């Protein structure tokens, strides 16, 4: 990956599903750029849709159609929009598979811009999976698709790890976008170990935590209670923790998940390694719904995202809050400026 002074480069923002609140949170964040000293960013989107949405929600927002290289200079006076080849249907609250090509193009180009040194980091606005699946998208979600793009760019196998980052908690799901019924079969000692290794490495390299402490949740109630409530914790989680400790990683568990997230427990670790999606995301969003950020670890570039979804129910109303998106911009800037990436 080319090395450029990170501070000189803008952040590349993919618009997400245009029928959701992605356009609106980008517009609202730009409106607060001076007040909050936000880092320069550009939006990969259909300029006609962004202009239409701004008028629809009553925002007087000047737009500048530009290139990534011209976006930083334009940022103070207008929201920089780098046009996509695909056009969007502006239907707030009504997702459509017809918008899938543009949604994917925005992600593709954001990653390409970072990998080629035109942008410092990728920030993604929320996508909805069903319209993409209906259009033939073959990946479970953003995380897995970003790993695919990184592999295509580098030829190196990627191990993407989702981490939710808030002021009081970092939490990681080992399994992500799969049905709960499939989680036990998807878990393995190797998967738990590999996930925790990526977390430990990136906490040290990107977050500046020299010796990260990892609290590992059990899968079952009471961490299986000695096998009485399921055998996975003794068969999978405990051996994974033992393997991590043998490698010098400060991991402990399996821990009962219902006692891991109160303030006294959180003070004892730097990240919680959880066995499935909701086990990690419910506490993260409960503690900091407006401030938590989704960070993808294990990639050769920085990617952050708001911790919420497309919010189709309020799209086009002008009521969407940009706080998590703003937090994602700030964290992306911070992580990009460390200049430390996996080999």
pLDDT score, position 257? 97
- Assess contact for 39 and 45: CB atoms under 8 A: no
pLDDT tens over the chain, length 343 residues = 334 445 589 999 999 999 999 999 999 999 999 999 999 999 999 999 999 999 999 999 999 999 999 999 999 999 999 999 999 988 999 999 999 999 999 999 999 999 999 999 999 999 999 999 999 999 888 888 999 999 999 998 889 999 999 999 999 999 988 899 999 999 999 999 999 999 999 999 999 999 999 999 999 999 988 899 999 999 999 999 999 999 999 999 999 999 999 999 999 999 999 999 999 999 999 999 888 999 999 999 999 999 899 999 999 999 999 999 999 999 999 999 885 444 3
pLDDT score, position 59? 92
pLDDT score, position 7? 58
Pick the CATH number of 161-297 from 1.20.1250.20, 3.40.50.880, 3.40.640.10, 3.40.718.10: 3.40.718.10
Q: Do domains 1-160+300-343 and 161-297 have the same CATH topology?
A: yes
Which CATH number does 1-160+300-343 carry?
3.40.718.10
Could you give the CA distance from residue 186 to residue 1 in angstroms, rounded to a whole number? 32
pLDDT score, position 6? 54
- pTM, two decimals, is 0.91
pLDDT score, position 341? 44
Domain ranges of the chain: 1-160+300-343, 161-297
pLDDT score, position 338? 80
pLDDT score, position 290? 84
Quick one: CA dihedral 280, 281, 283, 284, positive or negative? positive
């Amino acid at each position: 990956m080319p090395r450029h002074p990170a501070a000189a480069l803008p952040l590349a923002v993919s618009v997400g599903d245009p029928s959701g609140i992605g356009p609106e949170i980008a517009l609202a964040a730009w409106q607060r750029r001076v007040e909050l000293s936000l880092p320069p960013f550009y939006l990969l989107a259909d300029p006609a849709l962004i202009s239409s949405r701004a008028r629809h929600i009553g925002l007087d927002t000047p737009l500048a159609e530009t290139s990534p290289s011209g976006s930083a200079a334009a940022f103070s006076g207008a929201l920089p929009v780098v046009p996509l080849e695909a056009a969007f249907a502006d239907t707030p609250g009504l997702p459509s598979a017809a918008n899938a090509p543009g949604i994917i193009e925005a992600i593709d180009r954001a990653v390409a811009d970072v990998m080629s040194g035109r942008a410092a980091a990728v920030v993604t606005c929320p996508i909805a999976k069903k319209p993409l699946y209906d259009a033939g998208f073959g990946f479970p979600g953003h995380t897995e698709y970003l790993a695919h793009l990184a592999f295509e760019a580098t030829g190196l196998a990627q191990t993407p790890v989702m981490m939710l980052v808030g002021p009081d908690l970092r939490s990681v799901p080992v399994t992500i976008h799969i049905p709960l019924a499939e989680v036990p079969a998807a878990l393995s000692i190797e998967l738990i170990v590999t996930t925790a290794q990526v977390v430990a490495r990136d906490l040290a390299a990107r977050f500046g935590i020299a010796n990260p402490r990892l609290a590992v949740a059990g899968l079952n109630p009471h961490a299986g209670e000695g096998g009485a409530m399921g055998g996975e914790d003794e068969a999978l989680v405990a051996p994974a923790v033992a393997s991590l400790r043998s490698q010098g990683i400060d991991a402990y568990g399996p821990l009962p998940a219902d006692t891991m997230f109160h303030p006294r427990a959180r003070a004892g670790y730097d990240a919680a390694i959880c066995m499935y999606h909701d086990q990690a995301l419910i506490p993260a969003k409960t503690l900091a719904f407006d401030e938590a950020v989704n960070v993808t670890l294990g990639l050769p570039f920085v990617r952050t995202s708001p911790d919420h979804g497309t919010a189709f129910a309020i799209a086009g109303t002008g009521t969407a809050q940009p706080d998590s998106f703003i937090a994602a911009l700030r964290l992306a800037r911070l992580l990009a400026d460390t200049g430390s990436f996996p080999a």
